[in-house]
Amino acid sequence: MQPRNMSMSGVVDLGAVKAAQEAKAKAEQARAEAARQGGGPSAVSPADLVIDVDEASFERDVLQRSTEVPVVIDFWAEWCEPCKQLSPVLERLAVEYDGRFLLAKIDVDANQMLMQQFGIQGIPAVFAVVAGQALPLFQGAAGEAQIRQTLDQLVQVAEQRFGLTGLTVDPDAEPGAGPSDTEAVPAGPYDALLEAAVRALDSGDFAGAVQAYKNVLSDDPGNPEARLGLAQAELLQRVQGLDPQQVRRDAAEKPADVQAQIVAADLDLVGGHVEDAFGRLIDTVQRTTGDDRDAVRLRLLELFEVVGADDPRVAAARRALARALF
């Protein structure tokens, strides 16, 4: 029962992009409906902000709920003493944050499969799931100030990037009588092609994924998931079969070789070294002119597409690129 959006075929989780779009649509629909009716969505009780989750309820209570509110997961066990210190703090903060996140508690002894799927080596461990995308928050004991800072950042990202504004809480609401499941967002005209492209990526058929995304973009040039997916698929296609050690050796020995730096930047990004990839290409822009500079600049813009315009590392790199160019 592995969450679809937790399957990472590369540096960007494409399933989460689609979930984010759906989450934004749901949030916008809810706000529009509330404005039209002069009210808000049905409220939940403060008691419903902390829930127990197991493998059977994970998809409904975590994955599906994460398209309307960030879900913080507390992995714990009865024998874990640090858990007994952390859990009450998280439960108190869940109520204090007043619906801006939902706390899901998972007993690792009773849910070994979930523990393995999240790659947890020790507890307490705290994750978040936002629009279907799993994000590690912290592991081990943490002070309340650190927890608050982490939660504040989570809430901000959830609202700004995914359009999730949280739940409406009513102290007088009956526990367990929260809002009913929201209707599924209707399937879009390109959902089948986009799903096929994601499956191709997961199976390593990068050429097939590239073609599937191009098919979508031929009809809908502005489709954000297809644009992002195409950038990722082309990146993975470029690095397929490369010898990482040779690539890094060439880049180190030939700093003036534009192509060597471009290939190394691709490899950096696939390996998760985003700042290294951006920095390498910006440095190369500063050292080059003419067609070489244009080639480096264009590759850097492609890598920006892969990471996503909302990522703060992209914003910082865009400023650095502007300084390098002008």
Q: Quick: pLDDT tens for 48-65.
A: 899 999 988 898 899 888
pTM (predicted TM-score):
0.52
**Domain match, 210 and 321 both:** no
The pLDDT of residue 250 is 95
241: left (phi over 0), alpha (psi -120 to 50) or beta: left
Tokens for 121, please give them: 């080596």
Same-domain check for residues 215 and 292: no
Catalytic residue among 80, 185, 217, 295: 80
In a shared domain, residues 151 and 194: no
In this structure, the answer to whether residues 10 and 153 fall within a common structural domain is yes
Q: Looking at the domain assignment, is residue 174 inside a domain?
A: no
Same domain as 324, residue 264: yes
- Reduced to 3 states (helix: H, G, I; strand: E, B; else coil), residue 118 is coil
Nearest 5°: the CA angle 21, 167, 53 is 90
pLDDT of residue 238: 92
Q: Are residues 67 and 114 both part of a single domain?
A: yes
- For residues 39-53, give the mean pLDDT: 79
Q: Are 17 and 157 part of one and the same domain?
A: yes
87 inside domain: yes
More confident residue, 312 or 258: 258
pLDDT at residue 195 greater than cutoff 90: no
Catalytic residue, chosen from 20, 63, 73, 83, is 83
Angle between helix 191-203 and helix 206-219 axes, rounded to 10 deg: 160
Do 145 and 10 share a structural domain? Answer: yes
Residues 299, 228 share a domain: no
Say whether both 224 and 258 belong to one domain: no
In a domain, residue 220? The reply is yes
Is the model's pLDDT at 103 over the cut of 90?
Answer: yes
Which amino acid appears at position 107 of this protein? D
Range of the structural domain that residue 106 is part of: 4-162
Cα atoms in the 13 Å half-sphere on the side-chain side of 54: 4
Domain count, the chain: 3
Q: How confident is the model at residue 27 (pLDDT cuts 50, 70, 90)?
A: low
Q: Please check whether residue 176 lies inside any domain of the structure.
A: no
Structure-model confidence comparison of residues 74 and 183, the more confident one? 74
80 is an active site residue: yes
What Å distances lie between residue 249 and 41, 101, 238, 279, 283, CA to CA? 58, 46, 18, 17, 18
For residue 11, give both structure tokens. Answer: 């540096």
Q: What is the longest distance spanned by two Cα atoms in the chain?
A: 69
Q: Are residues 277 and 304 in the same domain?
A: yes
pLDDT at 17 over 60: no
Q: What is the pLDDT of residue 286?
A: 94
Is 83 noted as a catalytic residue in this protein? yes
| pLDDT exceeds 60 at position 126 | yes
Each residue of 216-264: pLDDT tens digit?
999 998 888 888 888 888 998 999 888 999 999 999 999 999 999 999 9
Residues 38, 61, single domain; the answer is yes
Asked if the structure places residue 228 within a domain, the reply is yes
Does residue 50 fall inside a structural domain? yes
Residue 18 has pLDDT above 90, yes or no: no
